[in-house]
Amino acid sequence: MSIIDVSSVSKSYGGVKANSDISITVEKGGITGLIGPNGSGKTTLFNSIVGYHPIDSGSIKFEGQEISRMQVPEIARLGLLRTFQQTRIYGEMNCVENMLISLPHRKMTFWENFQPNSKQDHEKAERLLEFVGLYEKRFLRSGSLSFGQQKLLEFAMALMNEPTVLLLDEPTAGINPTLINGLIERLKRANSEFGITLFIIEHNMRVIMNMADQIYCLAHGELLAAGSADEIQNDQSVIDAYLGAH
Amino acid sequence: MTMQKTSFYAILLAIIVAAPFLFPDFTTQLATLWLFIIVAMTWDMTGGQMGYNSLGNIFFYGTGMYVAAVIAIGLVYDVGEYTGASGGGRYDFTNEQYIIGFILGTLGAGVFCALSAFVLGYVLFGLRGPYFAIGTLGTAIAAGELVSNWDWVGGGQGITLPVYGGDYDQTKLFIYFAFAVVGVILFIFLKWLYGTRFGAAINAIRDDEEKAEAMGLRTLRYKLWTWAMSAFFVGMVGGISAFQLISFEPLESAYQTINLGIFMVVCVLLGGKGTLWGPIIGAIMFQVFKEVTWNYFLGWQWVALGALIVITVVYFQDGLMGWLQQKKPEWFGIRIDQKEAASEAAK
C-alpha cells in the first residue's frame, strides 16, 4: 500500500526545470531510496512534498489526503517529517533539551504545553540518544557537537517526534565512514522496530543499495529509472547519467 | 540543596521587604529599580528566550499608563471633561476611589496590553530579525504621536492622575510594594514557564524557527502568547508608573522610546540574554551605574552610558551570565556524562 503518492509533479525556478512530470510512490512500512547526480532535483522534490514551496502542477497525496497546497507545519503535524541536508538542530540547547522539544506537539493539547516534561519523556529522550550513540554527550550544548554528531542528533529528534514517514536528506553525508555501518543499522531498526516508513536521498551507493526496497533515480529533473537495487545497478541509463554518457 | 535554595529565597524576600525601611531616602530609586527589573525580564521573554528583539515594548508601557489613567479617572468622572479642564476644574477622589482605581487601572492596563500584543503580533510576527525590531520601534513611535494628538486623553499636555490623600511617604511605600509584588510574581511565573514545554518551544524558535516549523510546532501561536504575557506585565508596571508620576505626557514619559525603551534592552545585554537571572542582575548593574553617573558625572552621563553600551556589545556580547557560563560551564550543568555500564550493551 502506498503512503505517499506523487503524480506528475513539476516545479521550475524561473527558466530552470527542477522537476518535470515526476511520479513516484512510497510504500507504507518500507524503505524507499531517491538517487541521482548533483542538481538532478532530489531536494526540490523533497521540498515539494513537505510543503516548502508550491508546486507548478501535479498532485501529492499523503495517506490519501492531498497535501500539495498545505504549509510546512501543517504537513509536519500530519506525521510527515524531514531532516535537512544542512543539519538543523537547536544549537543553544543541550541534546536532552533538543530531544524534549521534539516531542510530538501535534499530539498535545494547548494546556499540555504548559506542563513540564514527564519522567517518561526524559527516559524516552535518553533511550533514543543512547540509540544513536550520544548518551554521554547529552548535557553538552548541541551547537558544540561535531557535524556528524549533530546529524545523529537530528535523526534522534526526528524519531522522538514519532513520525509516520521520515524523509531523510543525505543521512550519511559528513559522517565518519566507520560510523556509517552503525547508522545503516540504526536506520533499518528505526524502520523495522519503530515502524517508520523511510524515504531517503543518498549519494552513497553502498548505503542505499543496502537498505532500500525500491529506488528511484532522477536526472536533469526527470525520472530516469525505478526498481529494486539490482535493477537500478544494472540499468544502462542510470550508469550513463552518473558517468556522463553522450 | 533545596534547603540552601529555600534559605536563599527567604533572605532575598526579606531584603525586598526591608529595603525601603532600611533606606527610606531611596524608596523612589528602589521602585524604579523594580521597574527596570520587570521591563528587562519581560523584554528577555521575547528578546532572549524567543530571539525576537523588540524595540517596541515601550508601547505597552505607555499604553499601560494611559489605560490605567483612563480607568482610574473614568470610574469617577467623565474623562473628556476631566482632561478638558486640564487642572482647572475641581475633581476630588476619596482614598477608596484611589485604591479601587489603582487596582482596576493596573489590571486593566495589563489585560488591554496583552490583547493589543495579540493584534500587533499577528501583523508584526511576519517580520524577522532586524525588520521585527524596526517594525516594533515604528509602532511605538507612531502610537506616541497618535496619542499626543488625541485630545480626549489630554493630547500633548498629557494627563494628571488622582493623588492619594494620605501621607506622601506612605504613597511612595505603596508604589514600591506594588512594583515589588508584580516583580516577585513575574519571577515566579517565569521560573515556572521556562521549565515547561512552552518554554522549550520558544527557545526552539530562537535557535531555528524554520526547524521548529518543520518539526510541527505551532510557532505563531507560541510567539503571540509569549508577547502577550510579556505585554501583560509591562502594561501593569506602566499603570503603576502612571500613579507614581501622577502627571505624565505622551512623548517623554509614556512612549519614551529612547530612554526606557532602550534601557530595558541594555539591562538584558549587561546581565545576559536568555537567562532567568541575567536581566535581573543587568537591571541592578544598570540602575546603579545610572544613578552614580547621573549624580557624580552630570553632563557626561549620556557619554558614560554610551560607552557602557559599546563596551558591552563589543567585549561582553553574552553579558555577565554568558561570560560566567563560558568560565564555569559546570555551574550550568554543561558536562560530559560517562556512560553507565548497563548502557554499554546497547552498542
Q: Among partner residues B196, B206, B214, which is closest to A116 by beta-carbon distance?
A: B196
What per-residue confidence (pLDDT) applies to B347?
37
**Cβ pair B337:A139 closer than 8 A:** yes
Q: Give, for B274, the enclosing helix (H) or strand (E).
A: none
Task: Compute the nearest-CA separation of B288 from chain A (Å).
Answer: 31
Q: Give, for A176, the enclosing helix (H) or strand (E).
A: none
Q: Among partner residues B196, B215, B219, which is closest to A161 by beta-carbon distance?
A: B215
What per-residue confidence (pLDDT) applies to A15?
83
Examine the pLDDT at B344 and tell me if it is beyond 50. Answer: no
Q: Which of B194, B198, B217, B196 has the alpha carbon at shortest distance from A117?
A: B196
pLDDT one-digit tens code per residue, B222-266? 999 999 999 999 999 999 999 999 889 898 888 988 888 889 999
What per-residue confidence (pLDDT) applies to B342?
41
Task: Compute the nearest-CA separation of A36 from chain B (Å).
Answer: 24
Cα Dmax for chain B: 85
Alpha carbons B209 and B232: distance in angstroms, whole number? 24
pLDDT one-digit tens code per residue, A169-220? 888 887 888 888 888 888 899 899 888 999 999 888 888 888 898 999 988 8
* CA trace torsion A34, A38, A39, A41 (10° rounding): 0
Residue spans of alpha helices (H) in B149-246: 168-193, 197-207, 209-214, 219-245
Alpha carbons A172 and A197: distance in angstroms, whole number? 18
Alpha carbons B108 and B128: distance in angstroms, whole number? 30
Is A122 an 8 Å CB contact of chain B?
no
Examine the pLDDT at B152 and tell me if it is beyond 50. Answer: yes
Examine the pLDDT at B346 and tell me if it is beyond 50. Answer: no
**How much is the pTM?**
0.86
pLDDT one-digit tens code per residue, A64-101? 899 988 888 889 999 999 888 788 899 888 899 999 99
CA of B202: which chain A residue's CA is closest? A101
Mean pLDDT (whole number) for A159-174: 89
**Cβ pair A106:B216 closer than 8 A:** yes
Query: How far from B283 is each of A176, B175, B206, CA to CA, in Å?
Result: 47, 19, 23
Is A123 an 8 Å CB contact of chain B?
no
Examine the pLDDT at B124 and tell me if it is beyond 90. Answer: yes
What per-residue confidence (pLDDT) applies to A246?
57
Place of cell 559522517: A175
Which residues sit opposite A10 in a β-bridge?
Answer: A57
pLDDT one-digit tens code per residue, B32-41? 999 999 999 9
Q: Among partner residues B218, B274, B336, which is closest to A73 by beta-carbon distance?
A: B218
Task: Compute the nearest-CA separation of B52 from chain A (Å).
Answer: 15
How is chain B split into domains, by residue range? 27-301
Mean pLDDT (whole number) for A98-117: 85
**Cβ pair B203:A112 closer than 8 A:** no
Q: Give, to the nearest 10 degrees, the angle between helix B168-193 and helix B27-47.
A: 20
Lowest average pLDDT, out of B231-245, B265-279, B298-312, goes to: B298-312
What per-residue confidence (pLDDT) applies to B129?
86
Mean pLDDT (whole number) for B196-215: 91
What per-residue confidence (pLDDT) applies to B341?
40
Which residues sit opposite B247 in a β-bridge?
Answer: B160
